[in-house]
Amino acid sequence: MKSLFGDVRLDKRLEQVTEQINAIPVASLPKALEEWSSLKAGYRFMNNKKVTHAGVIETEKQETWRRIEQDQGVVLLAVQDTTSFNFANGRH
């Protein structure tokens, strides 16, 4: 597979960072990347000029397709609607 960022080390770092973040997805970076060396590496990765938003999204897209194919095309959706209504003032 071709390197997304033109550097295999950056691809590996993306894999490491996303694994750590996915373990605690609601945590801040300092909490998700608990060790100082991991946090520093994560910040360096994100500040690297070769790393792009599109590249990160492409990696996740490829991984999602891989998982779909591995599960024989079965996709489970967890859809969330954050719509809320407030009828406290009595007007509709």
Could you report the per-residue pLDDT of 10-53, keeping only the tens digit for each? 989 998 888 888 888 888 889 999 899 999 999 999 999 999 88
Q: What is the pTM of this model?
A: 0.63
Let me know: does 1 contact 39? Beta carbons within 8 Å: no
* DSSP single-letter state for residue 6: S
What is the distance between the alpha carbons of residues 34 and 12, in angstroms, rounded to a whole number? 18
What is the distance between the alpha carbons of residues 77 and 31, in angstroms, rounded to a whole number? 28
Q: Would you state the pLDDT for residue 92? A: 55
> Which is nearest to 75 in space by CA: 86, 64, 89?
64
Structural domain boundaries in the chain: 8-70
The one-letter amino acid at 66: R
